[in-house]
Amino acid sequence: MGVVIDSPGHVVFRDLPAPPAQLEKGYYLVEMAAAPINPSDLMYIEGRYPASAPTAPGKLRVGGFEGTGIVRAAGGGDAKHSMVNHPVALWIPEGGTWAHQVVVPAHLVMELPKGVSLGLGSPWVNPLTALALVQKAQNHHDPMTGKSLKPVAVALTAAASSLGRMIIRLAAEKKSNLVVLGIVRKAEQCDQLRSLGCEHCFTTTDPAFDDQFREAAAHLNCTLCYDCVGGSLPGRILRLMPPGSTVVVYGSLDPQPTLDGLSPMDLLIHGKRIEGFHLHMFLEAIGKKDTAKLMTTARDKWAGPLATSINKRLPMDQVSNALEEYRRNMSAGKVLLTGPAMPPEELRQPPSAEAPAAQSTAPTQAHTSQPGSSS
């Protein structure tokens, strides 16, 4: 069973073809426990994500790009038999984690960090992205002098998102050398973000936004912005930032598929730049060794600054309700779709306090974790 996108904007929970009786070498069969709903899932369902491109006739589009589960079978080779019954996190770039069972190549599967529950571990792209964006910001130099900045000031749109909160918590760590200028569209979110350590927070719907943000960006020498909203916001922000500034677009929450409001004069005369960031391409560019280092850091911080708040858990057959819940209040935390491998004891936990690490039937050294999130 799984969640199939049967037409743009419409999903249905239905039977899926059974997995092969004999797994191919290098593949795992994973029984799914939890998979979050992310902005990319909404775009996929609405038909405006790369994975939404036409597929082979008859091929089903199954929702979900990431999640967690328990390995039930291994095909050998890179898919090791010793992983059977172990909890894992997995990623399927073409979509497919909103299913009870999935067959995935070994390189898209990683053992769940110790101390992280199946629920808390299921949104794992955001923690890696937050770390990558923070490291990129820490290497940002003054565009006019080329000198290193102390501290680096970085503006962050949709700052109350799960990923935004992770970046804010990482910036609040000692020696981060980062100051975040949080940008949201709802004023009440600024209070929540200040309590996480984001001292400078701005609301785009406030008539004073342009003046306040321009002044703060100049004062703090903020020449880097991470934007995941798209539409007219990156152009608006770039116009307000000092000469030489860069806006890095890493999301497209605004359903308008293009960026507008960019001023050619800002690019031509004021040396401002706009560029994109995608985790997948970033990991390919840094290579396996640095990706492994990033994952190790992510594991260490998973239950701390990289923790995800979970708002609701609903079984996959309630996908329509789950999507509605998520759309209604995206900043309240993740809505998880749960599958058959979700342990009943974890389901009994209140969602915002996820259960301790998943127990595999194989021996593990799992220990208790508590999310450090605050939404």
Ligand X SMILES: NC(=O)c1ccc[n+]([C@@H]2O[C@H](COP(=O)([O-])OP(=O)(O)OC[C@H]3O[C@@H](n4cnc5c(N)ncnc54)[C@H](OP(=O)(O)O)[C@@H]3O)[C@@H](O)[C@H]2O)c1
Question: Site residues (CB under 6 A) for ligand X?
Answer: 38-40, 125-126, 129, 158, 160-163, 185-186, 228-229, 250-251, 253-254, 277-279, 330-331
**Which residue, 122 or 359, has its beta carbon nearer to ligand X?**
122
Report the nearest approach of ligand X to the CB of residue 324 (Å): 14
Alpha-carbon distance values, 122 to 83, 135, 286 (Å): 18, 23, 24
Contact 153, 324 (CB under 8 A): no
- The burial class, CB within 10 Å (0-12 / 13-18 / 19+), for 77 is exposed
**Which residue, 1 or 172, has its beta carbon nearer to ligand X?**
172
Residue 223 has a CB neighbour count (10 Å cut-off) of: 24
Query: Distance between CA atoms of 32 and 19, rounded to whole angstroms?
Result: 13
Sequence-ordered strand ranges (E) for the chain = 2-7, 10-14, 27-36, 66-74, 87-91, 101-105, 109-111, 152-156, 178-184, 200-203, 224-227, 246-249, 273-276, 310-315, 334-338
Report the nearest approach of ligand X to the CB of residue 7 (Å): 22
At residue 265, φ and ψ (nearest 5 deg) are -65, -35
Report the nearest approach of ligand X to the CB of residue 17 (Å): 29
Report the nearest approach of ligand X to the CB of residue 211 (Å): 20
**Which residue, 103 or 156, has its beta carbon nearer to ligand X?**
156
**Which residue, 102 or 133, has its beta carbon nearer to ligand X?**
133
Order of all β-strands in the sheet with 224-227: 200-203, 178-184, 152-156, 224-227, 246-249, 273-276
Report the nearest approach of ligand X to the CB of residue 271 (Å): 24
Task: Provide the token pair at 256.
Answer: 């308008």
The region that residue 278 occupies, defined by phi over 0 for left and psi between -120 and 50 for alpha, beta otherwise, is beta
**Which residue, 126 or 369, has its beta carbon nearer to ligand X?**
126
Query: Distance between CA atoms of 159 and 155, rounded to whole angstroms?
Result: 9
Report the nearest approach of ligand X to the CB of residue 238 (Å): 16
Contacts of 306 (CB under 8 A, 6+ apart): 126, 127, 130, 131, 166, 169, 170, 298
Report the nearest approach of ligand X to the CB of residue 161 (Å): 3
**Which residue, 183 or 217, has its beta carbon nearer to ligand X?**
183
Contact 87, 22 (CB under 8 A): no
**Which residue, 262 or 330, has its beta carbon nearer to ligand X?**
330
Nearest to 36 by CA among 130, 128, 121, 132: 121
H or E, element range at 193: helix 188-195
Nearest-CB residue to ligand X?
251
Report the nearest approach of ligand X to the CB of residue 43 (Å): 7
Task: Provide the token pair at 213.
Answer: 């943000």
**Which residue, 278 or 367, has its beta carbon nearer to ligand X?**
278
Report the nearest approach of ligand X to the CB of residue 227 (Å): 9
Residue tagged 């100051």 (tokens): 179
Report the nearest approach of ligand X to the CB of residue 71 (Å): 25
**Which residue, 265 or 281, has its beta carbon nearer to ligand X?**
281
**Which residue, 143 or 182, has its beta carbon nearer to ligand X?**
182
